[in-house]
Amino acid sequence: MCDTCGCNVTHANAHLVAPGGKLSKTGGGHEAVSVLRGLLHENDHAAGHNRSHFDRHGVLAVNLMSAPGAGKTLLLESTIAALGGELSMAVIEGDLETENDAQRIRARGVEAIQITTGSACHLDAHMVHDALHHLDLAGLDVVFIENVGNLVCPATFDLGQHRNVVLLSVPEGDDKPAKYPVMFRAADLVLLSKCDLLPVLDDFKPAAARHHLQNLANPAPVFELSAKSGAGMGRWLEWLGREIAAVRQATAARNAVPGDTASAARPTP
């Protein structure tokens, strides 16, 4: 989609193709494919920079992706309610317009940085980099990046995250992994959301959704939950805790001084 609609050029990376920008000219002066490749390369470079920021502070970065209305913001609200006293969190919100979701997060006492993308149907690494300038990562345990609701383009852009979590809601149908394979191949975890609706929408078969995911050769775990009722939230929270611990451990190992056995046990600054 982004290859044809032009939304690869966003307000955060437009300087690259503007007159005088790094990608303002290609070999022949007009090749759209060369510009696209260049933008993706620059995006990956910015993503690596973002990841180094997260790694330096021992902060887990989670990219939440789904179709519109699958329940990403409600999942975050329920996660804050469950772990707000134990973990320090921040959220980067992506939407074409409005600060509606960011306001919901702020109402829970968690800092939320809103990115409005205009016509772009995804976040990119440059947008996230700009948002990080407004976040103090010191002392945070996890940053959630709530991507624009879209089952196509967000999966193409590395943001510097450590993990991709994809929500598939019961009203969408259980065949979405087969229809949108790029998104679901990129998933490190799939959450079947709004499972409180299964008694009503009984044509959604969780086993079928798992089967379609397995056909993509993706071994990612699949959890059923309802952020509204709280059912199944425990497994999600446990997974999150393990991933935070893994990032902390990796940061401690990088910061360890050779021969200093106590350094790995010291808290990451």
Sign of CA dihedral 16, 21, 23, 28: positive
Which residues are CB-neighbours of 53 under 8 A, at least 6 positions away?
132, 137, 160
Q: CA-to-CA distance for 192 and 144, rounded, in angstroms?
A: 18
Q: Indicate the domain borders of the chain.
A: 46-255
What is the model's pLDDT at position 256?
84
Q: Tell me the helix, strand and coil percentages in the chain, rounded to 5.
A: 45, 15, 40
93 forms beta bridges with: 114, 146
Long-range Cβ contact pairs of 108-112 (< 8 A, separation 24 or more): 108/77, 108/80, 108/81, 108/84, 109/80, 109/84, 110/80, 110/84, 111/135
Question: Pick from 8, 1, 2, 11: which is nearest to 39 by CA?
Answer: 8
Q: CA-to-CA distance for 83 and 62, rounded, in angstroms?
A: 16
| Tokens linked to 68 | 């519109």
Q: Specify burial of residue 16 (Cβ count, 10 A radius: 0-12, 13-18, 19+).
A: middle
Tell me the pLDDT tens digit for each residue of 23-46: 555 555 555 545 457 678 899 999
CATH topology of domain 46-255: Rossmann fold (3.40.50)
Question: Pick from 204, 78, 72, 90: which is nearest to 149 by CA?
Answer: 72
Q: Which helix (H) or strand (E) holds 203?
A: none
Q: CA-to-CA distance for 124 and 46, rounded, in angstroms?
A: 9
Which residues are CB-neighbours of 19 under 8 A, at least 6 positions away?
none
Tell me the pLDDT tens digit for each residue of 164-176: 999 999 999 999 9
Q: What are phi and psi of 66, to 5 degrees?
A: 180, 175
Which portions of the chain are predicted below pLDDT 70?
1-36, 38, 257-269
Q: Are 32 and 4 in contact (CB under 8 A)?
A: no
